[in-house]
Each structure stands twice: as structure tokens, then as C-alpha cells.
A and B are shown apart, each in its own frame.
Chain A
Amino acid sequence: MSRARADEEEYWHSSKFRAFTFDDEDDELSQLKESKRAVNSLRDIVDDDDDDLEKVSWSGEPVGSISWSIKETASSSSSSLEGRDTSLQKGSSSYAALPKQVSSYSLSSLFKAFSDTGVKNYAPELRRPRAEYKDYSNDWSPRDTVRRMQRGKVCSLERFRSLQDKMVLLDEAVAGHDGNVITAVLIFLKRTLRREVLFRELEVRQVALCHLIHFLKETGEQKLLLDLLRFLDRTEEVALSQYREHLNIQDVEKKREFLKGCIGLPFSAEDISHIQDHYTLLERQIIIETNDRHLAMAGQSEIFRKYPRKASILNMPLVTTLFYSCFYHYTEAEGTFSSPTNLKKTFKIPDKQYVLTALAARAKLRAWEDVDALLTTKNWLGYTKKKAPIGFHRVVEILQRNNAPVQVLQEYVRLVEDVETRLNLATKYKCHDVVIDTYRDLKDRIQLMAYKCKVERGSAEEEKINSLLSNMQIRWKN
């Protein structure tokens, strides 16, 4: 038992690229000796490891691709040195051509045994530095320690006790480029140094510092992380890192409370308003959600009956909340929390964004008169004018997506400024009047004539085209 245990220890301590390696001790031997030993060790394993023999039973006959390749490894290794080069040149293409070898050994034992030599052809193997064999007393130099660790070996760091030794070790680790080792050294330093001392040293070691920060993030040592960031005067990161925790809070009430606490954190001036908004938004959503759930349950409100809510509004973005409010609470007075105008004011939503969202919501409800009102402005003389901060082609697109009738659609298609886009949209959505009028304005007789075949025979549109074509007043350009 203890021997097996030791073997196992030894095995995985040394396992890196040498995962195939069975026995570590014959490194000293020449290649030839190795192969010889490998063959001999085969017998050992078969003799003293009964489990391995049983294991072969899963496959019964060692057939199939896995055993195949294992046998390939076997044949190449047993042919020792001379065989190595040839098998290599043959490469993998020669695999299939290899003769089937009858074997009664367990697959795993074959694997173990041949790994020392055979696999070398295919997987690179690390030659350990000579220094490694002479002494196991943990007398490694910092550099050797780092190298050993890079190779996945266990290495005690306890002997690095003076601060100077520790820092030399850390600098070696950084110079070795292996982040895994850098982190390992940091874990050791974190355990053996007072945090202020460690922080101070890391301040001038940026690469190591990044590793510690990442490590603390991953292990969730939030308190230490915040202390470190504070020590470094990275106040904004302190704030963001704390704010980040809200992602893990499920309960909305708790989340709201948490966000409230975030407002006082040292965010940048710009971000502080975003945090404030986040808090206000969630607060608003909680109020709206409570009310609307009631309304919907009571079944008194027509809109909720006609269009049942699909999901709760909690934790949704502002624009989604605005859409929701335009959908369910459009007519409410500005005084209520759920009214669109109130949202617009509270969060300083730009006009463009507001119109776009309200339009989409009202169009979805097919409330065309609301759409009309939304896009109508009065000037100081009392004249009304259609205005869209988003461009009328977008208006048309939204209306069309909500299956607006042609009468509604064409009113806005007409307002598309770019003639080409207008013609395209008008043709696409069969707003004949707009097409006809546009060609008239362009004085394009040919196109108008061509369009005649696209309208219904005997329709008002056809009549209109005919009357235009016979109108002597118009000076056609063609």
C-alpha cells in the first residue's frame, strides 16, 4: 500500500508532459538502458499488479483504434534506438500498415512500460536539469525552484523566509513567464507576509500584482481585494468591484438596498449618475411591478386582460421599462411613477429615444392616432407639422412591422425626405398615391406610365395616373 502510494505520489509530482512516465528514477540511464528496463519493468508490472491484468477485460481482445495505437507505441519502443528514427520518418501514415501484434499484457501496463521510451518519439519529454538528481533537500536556487514548479513538480517554498529571498523568488517567477507559478508564489507570499508588506512590494511589480488581483477575484476574496485596491489608491476599481456584487443578489428588495449603498462609493463623476439611475430604476420597477401584478390579478383593467404580461419588468433596462410604460400606462398623468412622461423626465431620456420607443409601443397596440399625435408638433403660430427626430423611414419601418394599414403608412412614407428611399418604400408597401405624386413632382412621365401596370385596373389610382398623363399643364421632363 505504502509503496503504491509513494509511486503514485512520485508519478503525479513528475507528471507534466511526462504523464506517461511510470518510473522516474531511470533518468540517469542511457536511452538504450531505458528501453531495456522498460521491457523488464513490463514483467514486473504484470507480476505484481493484478488489477492491471483484470482491467484488460473491458475490451477482451485488444482490437480497435485505441489498442492499435498503443501497440504502435509498443512496437516502436521495443525496437529501441535504431527503430526510433525509422518509425518517426514513417510518421503516422504508416500506422495502419503495422503488423498486428498479439499481446496478452494489459493495455495500461504496456502503456506504462513503454512510455519512457516509445512515447518520446511522439510527445516531447522534459529532460530534468542535472541539478535535480543530486539532492532532494529542497536546496534549489530561486531559479531552479521556479523551473521545477514550471514543470509541475511540488517544491517547498518554506525556506524562502527573508523578504529579500521571497522577492527574488517572485521576480524569478515573473521572469519565467509562467502565470501558474507566479500565482503559486503569490499564494505562498500571501500566507507568509503581512498584507501591507505584500501590497507594498507588489506596487512596483505590476505583472505579479495583476496575478494577485485576478487570483483574488477568482477565489472570491473580496475583502482582501478591496483592501489591496484601496492601498493602491485605485478608488474607482474599489467602487466597481463592490458594485459588481449586485449581480449575485437575487432578491430585488435586497438588491435595491445594496444599490442604494453603492451610491456613496467613489465612482467617477460620470458613473455616479449611472449608479444613481440604476438604483432609481429598480426602485421604480418594484413599485410598478407591485401595482401591475395587482391590477392584472384583479382582472379589472382591460389592457392587462387583452394583453397579458409576459414577464415581470424587474431588472429590465430603462428603454424596455419605457416601452412597457408606453404600452400599459400611456395615458397616465405625469405625477404617477409609471407614466412615460415621468420616466422620461426622471431619467432625462433624449427625445429621439423617447419617440422611438413610444412609437414602437403604440404601433404594437395599433393606436394610430397616438402615433399621429406623437409625431405632430405645433409651432408658435398654431400650425401643426409632422416631425420625427428619428427620420421618417424608421417610422415607416416600425409601423410596417406592426402591420399598419396603407392609409396610415402612406402618410409617413410621403414624409420621407430622400426621394429615392421614398419611392422604394412607397413601391414596396404599395402606397400608390405616394408613388404617383412623387413621379408627378419629378415630372417623370415614363416612370409614371410604367407604374400604371402596377395598379389595379379601373381603380382610382389608375384614373389618377391617366388624368395626370393627359394634363397639359405639366411640363414633363421626358
Chain B
Amino acid sequence: MASTARRDAPEPPDFGILKRLARDQLIYLLEQLPGRKDLFIEPDLMSPLDRIANVSVLKHEVDKLYRVENRPAPSTSDQLCFLVRPRVRTMRYIADIVNADKMSGRSRKYKIIFSPQKFYACEMVLEEEGVFGDVTCDEWSFYLLPLDEDIISMELPEFFRDYFLEGDHRWINSVARALQLLNSLYGPFSRVYGIGRCAKMSYELWRDLEEESENDGQGRKPEIGNIFLMDRDMDYVTALCSQVVYEGLVDDTFRIKCGSVDFGPEVTSSDKSIKVLLNAQDKIFSQIRNEHFSSVFGFLSQKSRNLQAQYDRRQGMDIKQMKNFVSQELKGLKQEHRLLSLHIGACESIMKKKTKQDFQEMIKVEHALLEGFDIRESTSFIEEHIDRQVSPIESLRLMCLLSITENGLIPKDYRSLKTQYLQSYGPEHLLTFHNLKRIGLLTEQAAGETLTAVESRVSKLVTDRAAGKITDAFNSLAKKSNFRAISKKLSLIPRVDGEYNLKMPPDMAYVFSGAYTPLSCKIVEQVLERRGWQGLEEVVRLLNGNEFAMADGAPEDGAGGDAQRVVVAVFLGGCTFSEIAALRFLGKERGCRFIFLTTAITSSARMMEAMAEAKA
């Protein structure tokens, strides 16, 4: 196989089996509570459940379906089954139901099915509430939900906050098990790369699990050869930028939930909303999802014209041709027509919203921040944004972007922006600011300290860190982003003469209008190219280390077949559609196929929202 010739990327493996496994196990677990029963479902699990089983499947086993919410349950069934995430709050809710029954002398059977796994803390709550033993517990090992032919989600948005803010390692086991499952079905992976503390821990725990299980994967023909694990905190910048590829824009504007989106009346131009699945099966969507928004209009209008032409062929048909047309083509055309009008409607709606938000100006500010000029002007733009009480989330996002690209705000700016923010959006956001500081997204430059002084302090402290004895103060120092230096080292800001060609993009930077190559994707590209971290030492140092690369018995180039050209990119803490688009682009260029495994699909808004404190 000549490696110079551009090869087509291999087809992604069939992930349908993951759905089937999850569904079968769920049915089995439900059968463990024989007889008629009511099922209470955690709201967060509804959409994932929808994607693997329909109600009629559940109905076989279940009488009535309820949502788990903060209200007493009206159920009259003698058997209650709860399908939940392992959360303390939910345990109390269930315990309240059980205890209320006990008080009224009612006897029922209760079963809790935890997804994806049970936590000891949950059992402790059940014990404390005096209902341990009254309920039986099970685990539904539903780790991986294929959202599309190349996207698998763990649907754990709380991963981000739990790990990066609270420092809780509770999901690492789940990640390790997910990797194990994937490895056993589609592996063995011969090359493993990663960067970040969580990535490393997940890898180690996964290795541990693999060692224990007998290695019956040997000799099997793998479908996936490489895997790359990355922590979200290696690159916050990319996740904070406004998205401008179509799928990213749709997500930012309408929120794609579990692979589907609710298009409201403003899109459907009728009085009702339509729920649309957005994936490779949608023939229109699959062609525009990765495109820069500016190219989408042209594509859609071209499509409409083609469609019109195909409809017009009816004129001048005889009866027989007409019959053929109606029976064979019409349905497809109608379907296409429906999709086209939906996406055109979505585009219009996006345009309308973005024009109202001074999108153009905002993008300009973002690009200035990424490149590091006009900091003062950008700061006043953000200030005005806050003063005008435009979206609180957007204001926060811009502040974080400013902070991360500048290694923290200068104290004067920090104070003044914070004060104005609290005045505009409410004083309780004091807590949000505290969280953002802890996680390192919005920090204040230490006064009077030059950057080099900070850096030397960091390196001095790194050794202590290894011993696991770090102070909180250091914690925020450790998260210095060093963005400017990294950006320079990896040339993330493309130098182009003349106009950047968004229609025929030369590189991944197109996902941000040619202004910036997503750091996360650049790292993946570099490491795959080099088959490791050699030559990237400086970047690794700036990113705070924790890199690794393993190759067990990896076949040499060409020998591994297609599997060696399939790479699972694992994003711990979430992955954005812009990153997905960028790597899909890279895959096409290099003739390899990326599979995305993420704890959840994320976006700047989701990240910011995760930092707010909510009522208990």
C-alpha cells in the first residue's frame, strides 16, 4: 500500500451492537422484578433511553412510566422500579417514597437500577434512611451510547464539573469500563496515546481491568487500532469560541440533545415544533454539518434548485413514467424537500438571532483575543456586553476567553468586570466566580509577579504535586494556560496571504473561519503524525505534562490493515461539534477515520452553566 497516495478513510465500525447490548440488559434487569410494575425514570436518562429502546419495548415490562422529580409519586402499583443515575438526591427521593409507604403500612417491592453504575455513597444514603434491604439494587452497564456513526457519548455531562471542579474521581471507573468494552468489541487497540491527569488515570485503571480479564481478544482482527485520550482542561480555549460550522451553530442556537434537536415554530414556519434526528442518515444534514456557515446557504439553494428541477420533470411524462415517478422517486423527493425546508428554516433563524446579537462584532473580538491584540478594546466590548445585560452566559464566556488567552485578567479589570457582572446579572453569581477561579477558567493575575517568576514557582511546586500534596493556592497557579506560548509553538493562528478559502479549506482552522486551529485537534494531529510525543516536549511542558504513548505489538505501517487508520478520540469532560468537524476534516485529508468518544457533547454554554450554583 503506497502511503503517499491519498486513501479513502475506512468506514466506521458498526456500533449498533452497543445499543442492543444496553437494551437487552435493561430488559433483563426489568424482568428481575417479575410482574406488573411502574417505572420511574431519571429525566437525564430519558433521551438516551429513547435512542436505544422505544416505549413499546418498555411497555412489555412496565405498566406506567413516571419521571423522577421532586414530587411525591402518584403510583398505585405494587412494584416500583427506579431507573436512575447514582445521585444522593435521587436516593433521598426514593427513600422518602419507601418510608411514606412504611408509615401508611403499605407494602410494595422496590428496585433501583443504577446507570451506568452504583456508588457506595448511594447505598450509604439508603442505609441511613433505613430503607437498605427494602430495596434491591442493580446496575445497568449502559456506558456507551452511539449518537451517530462516528460519535459515541457516555451522556455524563456532570463528568465535567465532578472531575474538573470538585476533583472527584468517581467517573474514572466508568470511563475505564467503557474503554474496556470498546476494546473487547472493536479492539484490541494497538496504540494508545493520551494527555492529561484524568486521561492517565483512566488509562491505568483500564489497563488494570484488562490484566485481570483473560485476554481473549488476542488473534482477533481489530476494527479500531488507535486510541487517543485527552482531558478537557488541556484546551478550554477551543470550547469557549463561538462555533461557526453548521452543526456547532445549530447546537449553540437550539441545543442538540442526544443527537436530536427541537426546531421551534420559528424554524418550521408552522405553529408546532418538530423533533429532528441529526445524523449521517439525514442526507441534507450530513452534507452541511461540517461546513462553515457561510458555505451552507449556497449549498442549500443549489439543492433547492436541483430539487425543483427533479419535480419539474413530471411535466411531459406519460402515464407510465408518471407512475414510476410517483412510486419510486416521489417519496425520496418529498423527504428531501422536508429536510431542506427545515434546514433552510434553521439557517434563517440562526441568522436572525446572530444579527441581533452583534455576532459579527463578537467574532471580531474573539479573534482579537486569540491573536492577542487590542486587549483593551476587547475588554471594553465585554464590559459593554455586561452592562447591556445581554446573555449572562455569553458575557461569562467572553470573560473566560479573555482570562485564558491572557493567563488571567489584570486585577483592576477582574474587579471591575466582576462588580459589573454581579450588578447586571445578580449578586449570587459571586459563587459562580469562585467556581470559575477554582477551575482556572477565570482568574486574576497575581499582582506584582512577572510571568517568569510565576513559572519558576510552578516548576518548583510540580515536584510537590507529584507527591499529591498541593495547596489550593497552587492549584490555580498550576492551571495557568500558557495559551499564547502554546499557540506560537504549534502555529495555531494560520498565516495566510489574502483571503482564507472557507469553501475549500486548507486546514482545520476553517472551523473558526480560518482564524484559529483548535488546539485539541492540533495535538491529536501532531501526535498521530509523530507516533508519539517526540519533538513536542515544550508543548507538553506548557500543558503541564501527563502525556503517555503505548504501543503493544502494534503492526508496522500497512500491516495492520484498515484498523490502523481508525482512531478513537476520547474527550474527557466533553467535546464540541467544532472539534468533531475539525477532526473529520483531518481524517479526510489523511485517509483515516476518527471515532469520537466523549463523556458528553459540550459547548461553551454548557460549560458555563456547569459552573453556576443551583438551589438544592
* A interface residues, Cβ below 8 angstroms from B: 8, 12, 15-17, 19-20, 51-52, 54-55, 58-59, 64-66, 69-70, 73, 84-85, 88-89, 91-93, 107-108, 111-112, 120, 122-129, 147, 149-150, 152, 174, 176-184, 187, 204-207, 210-211, 213-215, 217-220, 234, 240, 243-244, 246-248, 270-271, 274-275, 277-278, 281, 315-320, 347, 349-350, 352-353, 356, 390, 394
Contacts and interface: CB of A to CB of B under 8 A. Distances in A.
Contacts of B201: 177
A319 B423 contact: yes
Given A51-B35, A180-B173, A213-B166, 4 more contacts: A19-B139, A177-B169, A207-B169, A352-B387
B139 A15 contact: yes
Nearest to B24: A69
Contact of A89 (B28, B89, B220, B422): B220
B74 interface: no
A382 to B, nearest CB: 31
B34 A55 contact: yes
Contacts of A219: 88, 121, 125
Interface stretch (B15-23, B149-157, B254-262, B492-500): B15-23
A353 B380 CA distance: 13
A69 B121 contact: no
A317 B121 contact: no
B20 A92 contact: yes
B431 A220 contact: no
Given A66-B23, A177-B204, A281-B427, A353 B420 contact: yes
A51 B79 CA distance: 15
Contacts of A213: 166
Nearest to B120: A184
Nearest to A317: B426
Contact of A124 (B89, B184, B424): B184
Contact of B34 (A8, A52, A174, A234): A52
B184 A123 contact: yes
Query: Which of A122, A128, A246, A352 has the largest count of B CB atoms less than 10 A from its CB?
Result: A122
Contacts of B172: 177-179
Interface stretch (B329-337, B368-376, B467-475): B467-475
Given A55-B31, A93-B14, A213-B166, A274 B119 contact: no
The 4 closest A-B pairs by CB, nearest first: A179-B169, A210-B167, A179-B170, A184-B120
B616 A247 contact: yes
B216 A92 contact: no
Contact of B25 (A20, A54, A176, A240): A20
A328 B258 CA distance: 45
A274 B212 contact: no
Contact of B136 (A8, A176, A179, A217): A8
Contacts of A89: 220-221
B137 A214 contact: no
B107 interface: no
A78 B413 CA distance: 70
Contact of B31 (A107, A120, A124): A107
9 contacts: A55-B31, A66-B57, A126-B212, A126-B213, A149-B120, A177-B169, A205-B468, A317-B425, A390-B384
A174 B24 CA distance: 34
A428 to B, nearest CB: 12
A122 B202 CA distance: 21
A125 B185 CA distance: 12
A183 B14 CA distance: 37
Contacts of A59: 60
A277 B427 contact: yes
Contacts of A240: 430-431, 434
B136 A220 contact: no
Contacts, number: 238
A207 B428 contact: no
Contacts of B469: 204-206
Nearest to A109: B31
A353 B423 contact: yes
Interface in B135-150: 136-141
Contacts of A347: 423
Contact of B468 (A65, A207, A247): A207
Interface string B165-181: 01111111100010011
B614 interface: yes
Contacts of A214: 162, 166-168
Nearest to A246: B428
Nearest to B162: A214
Contact of A127 (B88, B118, B139, B212): B212
A51 to B, nearest CB: 5
A319 B389 contact: yes
A36 to B, nearest CB: 18
A88 B17 CA distance: 12
A178 B34 contact: no
Contacts of B169: 177-179, 182, 207, 211
Contacts of A126: 209, 212-213
Contacts of B23: 65-66, 69
B140 A19 contact: yes
Contacts of B422: 274, 277, 317-318
A394 B358 CA distance: 12
A274 B427 contact: yes
B387 A356 contact: yes
A278 to B, nearest CB: 4
B279 interface: no
A349 B419 CA distance: 10
B387 A353 contact: yes
Contacts of A244: 431, 613
Given A271-B430, A278-B427, A317-B424, A247 B615 contact: yes
Contacts of B16: 92
Contact of B183 (A92, A124, A184, A205): A124
Given A122-B185, A179-B172, A353-B423, A111 B24 contact: yes
Contact of B180 (A69, A124, A184, A206): A124
A15 B208 CA distance: 18
Given A89-B220, A123-B181, A274-B422, A58 B124 contact: no
Nearest to B177: A17
A274 B419 contact: yes
Interface in B206-254: 208-209, 212-214, 216, 219-221, 223
Contact of B137 (A12, A65, A319): A12
A129 B124 contact: no
Interface in B459-477: 468-470, 472
A65 B162 CA distance: 37
A152 B139 contact: yes
A205 B467 CA distance: 9
B34 A15 contact: no
Interface in B378-400: 384, 387-389
B32 interface: yes
Nearest to B62: A58
A108 B32 contact: yes
